[in-house]
Every structure is written in structure tokens, then in C-alpha cells.
Amino acid sequence: MRNIKNNWLVQVIGFVLVLIMTGLTAQGLSRIMPPYYLQIGFFIGINVIMALGLNLIAGATGQLSLGHSAFMSIGAYASAIATVTLHLPFPVGILLGGLAACLFGIVIGFPTLRLSGDYLAIATLGFAEIVRVIFTNMQITGGAIGFLGIKNLTTFPVIMILTVAMIAVMMWLENSRNGRAMLAVREDEIAAESVGVNITWYKIQAFAIGSFCAGVGGALFAHTTTFIQPTDFGFMKSIEFLNMVVLGGLGSIPGTIIGSVVLTTAPEFLRFMANYRMLVYGLLLIIMMIFRPHGLLGGFNFRQAISRALFLGRRIRQGAKV
């Protein structure tokens, strides 16, 4: 018993230390990096958080959601209202953004639970359109003109700390009882049910956590660009996040991170091609899917690879030939 408790404490302390170090490193980087690259860094962080949320919904429980940008917009508007209209501090705004999106995730999760695959995708697509139209017509959100006057409160350390925290939580979740149950739901719903997994509960849970991430991402986005409008969160945005997850490898956390980094930076690095930029971007996606249909890191087991590498190292030290 004591051993477990110690372990747990060690994990929490390690987690906090990593966060502090991330914050300090990011603080240092933000001083020396050119603003343009720093801006890309901001969006990498936001996109990693967004994509990790979608990875939980689409990758872990296998629910194809095309409404991820809607949850992002809910988080963005909720946090903007919190900090601008209600004068609440920024951390509260982030939390409210996440919770608002989470709430809608649960609300949309329930009726669509009976759907799966293509049908769920279309239902979430419809939901995203409804959200967009509502935001376009609401007074408090500034309607079609957009929400003006959001303060630029997002700093590089804040983004990086939240990103690292999100990655850690996702990795911990993946190996927990809950995470395994979610994977079981994706693998085979009937088998999952027959071993006593409450599939409704885990699907809702994935939707709730995934949309919470999207809400946090939206809050960070709103306070980075300082101006948001409903068209920022259209259908293409949802597809972009899905691209990141699928490109990296559906269900793989390292894959999702790499997918988000590659797809966030690619359009920037392709700027020298001017008008052909998006053409090449699209071509890259097609080539990727032909040569790595399961994503960059799909089917690649990190833990196994690491343990194999360690095992090999030990054998080499013991004098074995490779």
C-alpha cells in the first residue's frame, strides 16, 4: 500500500516539476524567439490541445466527430464573454470556456449516442452549423461582425504549460481503467458490453473530456487573436483538426502531437510557394495517406519500442552481437 502512495506522490511532484520547467523554458524562449515563430508556437500549442481532444473522441472511442470547431467556438466565446463582459480573470475564463464546451459536449453526446460512423459524423456536422448560425445571430457575441476588444492575455508559457498538462493527462488516461474501457468501445462495442463496460458512459465521457479540451483551445485562441468571428470556426476548421489526428495516427497520442505540429507548420513553411501553397499542402496529405495509411505513427507502440530498445541495449552491453 505504501509503495503505491509513494508512487502516486512521486508522479504528482514530477508532473508539477515538469510544468514549472516548461513554463520557465517557454518564458525564456518567448524572449529570444522572433515574433513570427513565436506566433507559430502559439498555434502549435492550441492545435495540439484541440487535436488531443478530438483524438480522444475519434481515436480512443472511435466516434467520428465533425463538430470539433463548434466546441472550440463555444469555448472561445464563453471565455471572451467571461473576461471582457464580466471582467473575470483569464484563468477563470479558460476554465469557463472549457466547462461550457464540455457541457455542450454532454448535451450533444446524449442524443447522438445511438448513432455511429457516418451518421454520427453528419449529426455533429449539423450541430456545428447550428452553433455557428446561433453565434452569428446573437447580440452578446457581436453577431456576424465578430467579438471585438478581447485582451491579448495568452502568453507563451501559459500555452505551453497547458499543452504539456494536457499531454500528460491524456497519457495517464490512456493507461487507466477508463482509457482502456474507451479503447475497448472502439475495438468492439458488443465485446465491451459483454465484459461489463457501460458503453454509454464512456462515450459521453470521451465527448465531455474531448470538448473540454476544445473549449480550452478556443479560449486560448480567442485571447491570442483578440478578435473572433463565427466564420473562424467553420466546417474546414473541424476537418483541419481531423486531418491532424488522422495524419499522425488515429488513437496515438504521440502521433496526434506530431500531426498537429506538421500541419500547423506546413502551411507556414510553404509560404515561399505563394499561390501554390495550399495545392502542395493538399498533395502532401494525399501522398501521406498513400504511403502511411494508418498515419505517421499509426500502429507504432511507443512503450514497446522503448522497452525493446532498452532490452537491445542491455544485450549489447552483455556482449551479444546484433
Partner 1 sequence: MLRLENIDVSYGRIRALQSVSLQVKEGEIVALIGANGAGKSTTLRTISGLLKPANKEGRIVFNRKHIFGSPPNSSRTASLKPHTIVQLGVSQVPEGRRVFPKMSVHENLLMGAHSRKEKPLQEDYERVFHHFPRLKERRKQLAGTLSGGEQQMLAIGRSLMSQPKLLLLDEPSMGLAPLLVEEIFHIIEDINSSGTTIMLVEQNAHLALEISDRAYVLETGRIVLEGSSQELAKNPEVRRAYLGD
The residues that touch partner 1, with contacts defined as CB under 8 A, are 177, 180-181, 183-184, 187-188, 190-198
Q: Is the Cβ–Cβ distance between 204 and 106 less than 8 Å?
A: yes
Q: Which residues of 51-61 are buried (b: 16+ CB within 10 A; e: fewer)?
A: bbbbbbbbbbb
Range list of H helices, the chain? 2-32, 35-54, 68-80, 90-112, 118-137, 156-174, 177-187, 189-194, 199-225, 235-248, 253-269, 277-291, 302-317
DSSP conformation class of 250: T
Whole-angstrom distance, CA of residue 10 vs CA of residue 73: 37
Q: Is the Cβ–Cβ distance between 143 and 136 less than 8 Å?
A: yes
Bridge partners (DSSP) of residue 147 are 228
CB of 59 to partner 1, least distance (A): 12
Bridge partners (DSSP) of residue 228 are 147
For partner 1, the closer of residues 192 and 216 by Cβ is 192
Closest CA to 173 of 67, 50, 59, 63: 59
Long-range contacts of 185-188 (CB under 8 A, 24+ apart): 185/61, 185/62, 186/59, 186/60, 186/61, 186/62, 186/251
- C-alpha distances (whole Å) from 149 to each of 84, 85, 97, 229 are 7, 10, 17, 12
Closest CA to 54 of 36, 72, 37: 72
For partner 1, the closer of residues 188 and 268 by Cβ is 188
Q: Is the Cβ–Cβ distance between 184 and 191 less than 8 Å?
A: yes
CB of 296 to partner 1, least distance (A): 18
